[in-house]
Amino acid sequence: QWSPSYKNSQPWEVVIVSGKKKEELSGLLVRLLEEGKAPQPDIPEAVLWPPEIEKRINETMKKRGALLGIDLNSPEIKKKFKAANFRFYGAPHGIFLFHDSSLNEWSIFDTGLFAQSLMLAAHAHGLGAVPQAFLTDYSLEVKQFLGIPDSKRLVLGISIGYPDTENAINAYRTTRVETEKILRWVE
């Protein structure tokens, strides 16, 4: 709750879904996926990534796929992977972060700071937390299910629970760009 925000606006709103309601929401999201409903997130994914970023994304997908022994570029595998997202990867709780849709990019940034603080706090208490943009694919339906007015923007979903240390994907760690490539000193 102590995450910084622009002008101390604290724009985030949090809904945690668990138990039967989480299972119902999961079923709804998987059904929409199976029916072929096109995703309509409140915050659309980038259509075109700068080449350097696209290269990192592709390398990550390739490494994750290799770890799991699957081709994450296969449409059928992608659909199964997305369905696993919609099942919260088996985690007992799903967290949804919202803010008022009239707000601008600063509030998205602020909500991201809050999400990072939440995930770091979870980790400090031995929990695993996975940020999931896919959980925003059907923003309207998620908001309707959770009783959130359409005047709110669904920013991010997070699955949270104790990590399954037996699952190979939980051993995977993404790489980071070398500091020299992202940092420049000007004196």
Q: Tens digits of per-residue pLDDT, 16-45?
A: 999 999 999 999 999 999 999 999 999 999
| Domain residue extents for the chain | 6-45+86-165
- Single out the residue of 151, 23, 182, 141 nearest to residue 92, CA to CA: 23
Does the pTM of the predicted model rise above 0.75?
yes
What is the percent of the chain with per-residue pLDDT over 90, rounded to a whole number?
A: 83
Whether 169 contacts 130, CB under 8 Å: no
Alpha helices in the chain (DSSP H): 19-34, 51-68, 75-86, 105-124, 139-146, 179-182
- CA dist 47 and 50 (Å) reads 10
What is the mean predicted confidence (pLDDT) over 179-183? 94
Mean residue pLDDT of the chain comes to 95
Q: How far is CA 86 from the centre of its chain?
A: 11
Q: Is the pLDDT of residue 69 over 90?
A: no
Instruction: Give pLDDT tens digits for 143-177.
Output: 999 999 999 999 999 999 999 988 888 888 898 99
pLDDT of 7 > 90? The answer is yes
pLDDT digits (tens, 9 = 90+) for 89-138: 999 999 999 999 999 999 999 999 999 999 999 999 999 999 999 999 99
- 168-183: buried (b, 16+ CB within 10 Å) or exposed (e) per residue? eeeeeeeeeeeeeeee
User: For residue 58, what pLDDT band results from cuts at 50, 70 and 90?
Assistant: very high
Given this model, what pLDDT does residue 65 score?
Answer: 87
- Tell me the C-alpha distance between 116 and 111, whole Å: 9
SS3 of 95, please?
strand
Torsion of CA 78, 152, 106, 22, to 10 degrees: -40
Position 67 scores a pLDDT of 85
CATH of 6-45+86-165, one of 1.10.10.10, 3.40.109.10, 3.40.50.970, 3.20.20.370: 3.40.109.10
* Per-residue model confidence (pLDDT) at position 102: 98
